[in-house]
Amino acid sequence: MLYNSTRGKDSGHSSAYVIKNGIAADGGLFVPETIPVLTKEMLDKLMGMNYAERAAEILGMFLTDYSAEELKKAADTAYSADRFGAVTTPISIAEGNSVLELWHGPTSAFKDMALQIMPHLLSLSLGKCGEEKDALILVATSGDTGKAALAGYADVPRVRIQVFYPSEGVSPVQKLQMATQDGGNVSVCGIKGNFDDAQSAVKRIFTSTEAAKKIDGEGLFFSSANSINWGRLAPQIVYYISAYLDMVAAGTVAMGDAINITVPTGNFGNILAAYIAKVMGLPVKTMVCASNQNNILTDFFTTGVYDKRRPFYTTSSPSMDILISSNLERLLYFTLGAEKCAALMKELNEKGIYTVDEETKARLAKDFAALYGDENDTAETIARYFKAGYLCDPHTAVALYCADKYKAESGDNTPMLVASTASPYKFPRAVLKAMGEDKGSSDFDCIDDLERLSGTRPPKALAELKNKAVRFEGVTDKADIDAKVYAFAAEKL
Ligand SMILES: *Cc1c(COP(=O)(O)O)cnc(C)c1O
């Protein structure tokens, strides 16, 4: 299977090439030229498999230049019990919703689902593409992506990874998670500035021919680990299909009957994976796009206007604080084709706003509903679900709020699967506050308080964090980011 750019000017690449390069030469995102079909026979076959086997099988439908053995070995390593626990993606039932817990991996956020296997796919791609240089992955992060990427790429041969985060813009737990990262091929830098400063610097360096030339001299090329890379998207399709089969096995739905899916959304990557599963033939009726106060997607789906010229809110669900949802570009491509998609992206770039016509809006409404919850709704939902016996993090709370609201407003009682994207222990203060229990103590005390109050156990890696040695200290000026990159590239590892 070959891959094309959403903007139509960079076509016909292998899956190894698109995973190695991340973004298309015309600035677009890579998409498969056709979406493979999930037949009834295939679903029956997957039913009898464990998670790693399902992953290898489904990825094989998209990554056709990887062998079945390569994918099986990668999936077995990535989704092993010592990384994810006995059940890779358990489903809890809470208030009538099936809650798909995607955060049982090494860094307690759903991004592990992709970032544990993607390094294997990248490593293999170097050989497949005849690439002689090693990859230097640059990441700008507001918290979760940085740690998940570090954990995935630590000590992976022929790859080095450097992460930049806003020194004052991540939680103390997130900061320590990154600063204590093991691995001989990793570098972590706090910067004086906000996430946008880190992001713009990384994007500028990533696309600079001068920078590329400089690191070429060190035998390196730049690659990316964020969700514009198809290597992040493809592994996310797997868990929707797997969860459906688990719901069938549990008797929540009969094979062939439809479910609805609610996804707490930021960059639109996770929910796009659900959409692709639906296009493949998974019985999904409606996908509910759940946003926080940064409700640009709610506005887009309900009015047809995408307008990023608006205030930015810092919320208790920071991984959804986003005004440019990059992966929406892929949905526009699948709905409108490359030419129109490219024109809309040009408008977004130049004017900060674009509008789709009524017909397009109506077509999107066949697959998607869009709702949002503000900070009050989020806190109330955490408290309400806790009373009902389920502890969730703020991102998941936004999704549960929107799922319940969708059900009440639409009267649609199709079984609802809700994606849960982070452990509540990753955001202990916000969760305690919602429960009326924040005593203003340190984040580590919050973890202990949450454990005591809820009777649940924190993930081992988070509980052990306070005893780990800090490896990366100090804060870099924005102006010195380039120098940091060149210094890391020049290091002999
Ligand atoms: C990244 C993230 C999201 C948003 O996922 P997208 O694919 O960007 O839409 C939601 N919740 C958590 C906890 C995340 O880390």
Average pLDDT over residues 281-299: 98
CA of 355 to the centre of ligand 1 (A): 25
CA of 240 to the centre of ligand 1 (A): 15
Mean pLDDT of the chain: 95
Q: Is the pLDDT of residue 207 over 90?
A: no
Task: Give yes or no for residue 421 CB within 6 A of ligand 1.
Answer: yes
Q: Is the pLDDT of residue 47 over 90?
A: yes
Average pLDDT over residues 328-344: 98
Tell me which of 268, 320, 402, 418 to substitute to probe ligand 1's pocket, judged by most ligand atoms within 8 Å of the beta carbon.
320
Task: Give yes or no for residue 175 CB within 6 A of ligand 1.
Answer: no
Please, which pLDDT band fits residue 194 given cuts at 50, 70 and 90?
Answer: confident
Average pLDDT over residues 273-300: 98
CA of 401 to the centre of ligand 1 (A): 16
Residue 172 has a pLDDT of 82
CA of 296 to the centre of ligand 1 (A): 15
Which 3-state string (H, E, C) describes 151-203?
HHHCCCCCEEEEEEEECCCCCHHHHHHHHCCCCCCEEEEEEECCHHHHHHHHH
Please write the tens of the pLDDT for every residue from 79-135.
999 999 999 999 999 999 999 999 999 999 999 999 999 999 999 999 999 999 999
Alpha-carbon distance of 32 to 339, in angstroms, equals 16
Question: Residue of the nearest CA to atom 2 in ligand 1?
Answer: 319
Average pLDDT over residues 145-157: 94
Tell me which of 199, 395, 418 to substitute to probe ligand 1's pocket, judged by most ligand atoms within 8 Å of the beta carbon.
395
Beta strands 305-307 and 353-355, pairing class: antiparallel
294 by DSSP, 3-state: which? Answer: coil
Q: Which atom of ligand 1 is nearest to the CA of 143?
A: 15
Task: Give yes or no for residue 180 CB within 6 A of ligand 1.
Answer: no
Average pLDDT over residues 451-475: 92
CA of 236 to the centre of ligand 1 (A): 12
Average pLDDT over residues 291-311: 97
Please, which pLDDT band fits residue 200 given cuts at 50, 70 and 90?
Answer: confident
Task: Give yes or no for residue 269 CB within 6 A of ligand 1.
Answer: yes
Task: Give yes or no for residue 291 CB within 6 A of ligand 1.
Answer: no
Name the residue among 57, 11, 3 with its Cα closest to residue 32.
3
Q: Which atom of ligand 1 is nearest to the CA of 270?
A: 7
Residue 204 has a pLDDT of 87
Average pLDDT over residues 254-279: 97
Task: Give yes or no for residue 265 CB within 6 A of ligand 1.
Answer: yes
CA of 173 to the centre of ligand 1 (A): 17
Q: What is this structure's pTM? A: 0.95
> For a pLDDT cut of 90, what percent of the chain falls above it?
86
Residue 439 has a pLDDT of 80
Q: Is the pLDDT of residue 49 over 80?
A: yes
450 by DSSP, 3-state: which? Answer: helix
Residue 57 has a pLDDT of 98
Task: Give yes or no for residue 270 CB within 6 A of ligand 1.
Answer: yes
Q: Which long-range contacts (CB under 8 A, 24 or more apart) does 101-105 make?
A: 101/420, 102/239, 102/419, 102/420, 102/421, 103/393, 103/420, 103/421, 103/422, 103/423, 103/426, 104/459, 105/148
Question: Residue of the nearest CA to atom 11 in ligand 1?
Answer: 421
DSSP 331-366: HHHHHH-HHHHHHHHHHHHHHSEEE--HHHHHHHHH
Residue 322 has a pLDDT of 87
Q: Which atom of ligand 1 is nearest to the CA of 111?
A: 15
Please write the tens of the pLDDT for every residue from 58-74.
999 999 999 999 999 99
Average pLDDT over residues 176-185: 95
Residue 442 has a pLDDT of 87
Q: Is the pLDDT of residue 170 over 90?
A: no
List all residues 6 or more positions away from 233 whose beta carbon is below 8 Å from its beta carbon: 114, 227, 269, 272, 273, 276, 327, 330
Q: Which atom of ligand 1 is nearest to the CA of 422?
A: 13
CA of 265 to the centre of ligand 1 (A): 6
Please, which pLDDT band fits residue 37 given cuts at 50, 70 and 90?
Answer: very high
Question: Residue of the nearest CA to atom 14 in ligand 1?
Answer: 319
Please write the tens of the pLDDT for every residue from 3-28.
999 999 999 999 999 999 888 989 89
Residue 246 has a pLDDT of 98
Partners of residue 287 on adjacent β-strands: 261, 368
CA of 164 to the centre of ligand 1 (A): 18
CA of 315 to the centre of ligand 1 (A): 13
Walk me through the domains of the chain, giving residue ranges and CATH numbers: 91-108+231-467 (3.40.50.1100)
Task: Give yes or no for residue 227 CB within 6 A of ligand 1.
Answer: yes
Please write the tens of the pLDDT for every residue from 223-257.
988 888 999 999 999 999 999 999 999 999 999 99
Could you report how far apart the first and last alpha carbons of the chain are, in Å?
A: 36
